Amino acid sequence: MITTEYIEEFLAQAHRVGDAGLMVCSSGNLSWRIGDEVLVSGTGSWVPSLQKEKVSICHLATGEVLNGVKPSMESGFHLGVLRERADVNVVLHFQSPYAMAVACMKNRPTHFNVTAEVPCHVGSEIPVIPYFRPGSPELAQAVVAAMKEHNSILLLKHGQVVCGKDFDQAFERAMFFEMACRIIIQSGGDYTVLALEEIDDLETYILGKKTK
């Protein structure tokens, strides 16, 4: 059951994202699974200054709005990711300055592993999704499909989506991806990336995915 305490926490986390500079005005949305229900930032809401009257409560399985507040137009992929990923409780979508710059580049990077934090926290492979109209079924389908096996994706001309088991994990992934994009942009294209052997080494000794 959604309580006032849950809503207050949701608002605090929304403002945290805004304070970090990941979102401006109404450019972004946030969701949080609580049992069979999901808190979603309301349509047209400004996440950095989100108020309780703009928080939508939806039924996860059906998408039914339970409190009369229309959810974000991107609620389709928020709910879709949460249905597909039992390990995920938070989904965050935003147009932060550097990720958005990369999303609009003509010659984009093939991968983003400029520091160890990217493969360790964001993911060594970040899918790039073609442009679809915001809020469209096509966009929702593409996001859900890509996030079945990835925690972070880049939407062309539209920003990024990250997910996590909780707010801290989603926030960390968002911030490290933004950091990587900042390095790429500020370097003017003159940057290096981790070699495959270096990523394998991180996965072995930092993430414990492999044994030698």
Question: Letter for the amino acid at 64?
Answer: E
pLDDT of residue 23: 87
What domains does the chain contain, in order, with CATH numbers? 4-205 (3.40.225.10)
pLDDT of residue 211: 53
Residue-level pLDDT, tens digit, the chain, 212 residues: 899 999 999 999 999 998 988 888 888 999 999 999 999 999 999 999 999 999 999 999 999 999 999 999 999 999 999 999 999 999 999 999 999 999 999 988 888 999 999 999 999 999 999 999 999 999 999 999 999 999 999 999 999 999 999 999 999 999 999 999 999 999 998 899 999 999 999 988 887 775 54
Residues 6+ apart with CB under 8 A from 78: 29, 31, 38, 40, 71, 72, 91, 93
pLDDT of residue 25: 87
Determine if the pTM surpasses 0.85. Answer: yes
Residues 6+ apart with CB under 8 A from 125: 111, 150
For residues 127 and 101, give the distance between their C-alpha atoms in angstroms, rounded to a whole number. 16
